[in-house]
Amino acid sequence: DEDEDEGEVVVKETSWLGGMMKNLNKKINVSGQAVLEESDVKPILETLKDKLISKNVAEEVAQKIVNTVESNMVGKKLTSFTRVTTAVTKAVESALTQILSPGRNINILQEVEASRREGEPYSIVFIGCNGVGKSTNLAKVAFWLMQHGMKVMIAACDTFRSGAVEQLRTHTQRLGVELFERGYEKDPAAVAKEALKKAKESRCDVLLIDTAGRMQDNEPLMRALSKLINMNNPNLTLFVGEALVGNEAVDQLTKFNNRLIELSSQDQPHKIDGIVLTKFDTIDNKVGAALSMVYISGAPVIFVGCGQQYSDLRRLNVKQIVSVLLS
């Protein structure tokens, strides 16, 4: 019977859950409520933490999440009809949903429309480490914008890596959009500034700015990136990272953000606004990097790349990700 199933918890006394429930039954007060103690929630949270880590959530992030949930749950009163595991799992589910839905809601299309009304091109800078698929996913974003009726220009501000301009030219020819480039060994910040001027003259709605892939510890390239952002004040700075990396992604994102803040000449430093996760189709259920990166930066995942075609770009389904993390 379904109702009986809700009200009863049938567990073996030898299991950790059985022992926990036996202890819990002793603590039920006269109003039919149980007061949760650390010993009730800790074993469940440890199991859930291991589950998160197995799904590629960075260990430090998983630990911080369960610590927060534990401090919120201890001392809480549950009715005798509520399973402890259900209550704790729901609390973790709620925490994960909250993390993946951070404060700033970025609606690119609305923001582009607002810039268009002011007669200014909306600029997006793409940053990230080497080999994460930055240029390819920039091209996917260009295609997505075009699908929504936007006139797009792409600026080749990776003046460092041999072949970077040619790679972008291939994309722009396929997409039928204008490429702004000044070749190699030029100041990327100056190229971006010129591109913004040209985009305005050409009445483009959006300028997508490609930058050199760089490791987070490469000081000269981080300074060049900071200069580009400070000089051009883009509407959006998107960090492009691979969906498969866990702790490494956290380190990359943290260091990128910290260096942008440290090197900024502005009172309110321009940090990473959003995240594009690449190769999302290759990770099966290892979706944890999305959670780690949002938790560390407070920036939402704007897009996930999930295939080789320009149309293979998706919005992040938070409910689905949480479900996979806890499955």
pLDDT digits (tens, 9 = 90+) for 17-61: 444 444 444 444 434 467 888 998 999 999 999 999 999 998 999
**What's the number of CA atoms in the CB half-sphere (13 Å) around residue 237?**
22
Higher pLDDT, 152 or 255: 152
Q: What average pLDDT score do residues 209-235 get?
A: 89
CA-CA-CA-CA dihedral for 178, 181, 187, 189, to nearest 10:
0
> Three-class SS of residue 11?
coil
Report which DSSP code applies to 165.
H
The two tokens of residue 205 are 């709605």
Instruction: Report residue 198's pLDDT band, with 50, 70 and 90 as the boundaries.
Output: very high
Helix (H), strand (E) counts: the chain: 13, 10
Distance CA(288)–CA(297), nearest Å, equals 14
- Find the helix packing angle between 164-175 and 134-147, rounded to 10°: 20
Q: Each residue of 119-161: pLDDT tens digit?
A: 999 999 999 988 888 999 999 999 999 999 999 999 999 998 8
Please state, in angstroms and as integers, the Cα–Cα distance from residue 5 to each residue in 10, 32, 179, 196, 317, following that order: 9, 18, 64, 64, 32
The two tokens of residue 116 are 């268009």
> Three-class SS of residue 173?
helix
Q: Of the candidates 154, 157, 127, 129, which has an alpha carbon nearest to the alpha carbon of residue 140?
A: 154
pLDDT over 90 at 284, yes or no: no
187 CB-contact burial (10 Å; exposed 0-12 / middle 13-18 / buried 19+):
middle
**What is the structure's pLDDT at 267?**
82
Distance CA(259)–CA(255), nearest Å, equals 6
Q: What share of the chain is helix, strand, coil (3-state, %, to 5)?
A: 50, 15, 35
**Angle at the Cα of 127 (from 238 to 310), degrees rounded to 5?**
70
Q: What average pLDDT score do residues 276-300 get?
A: 89
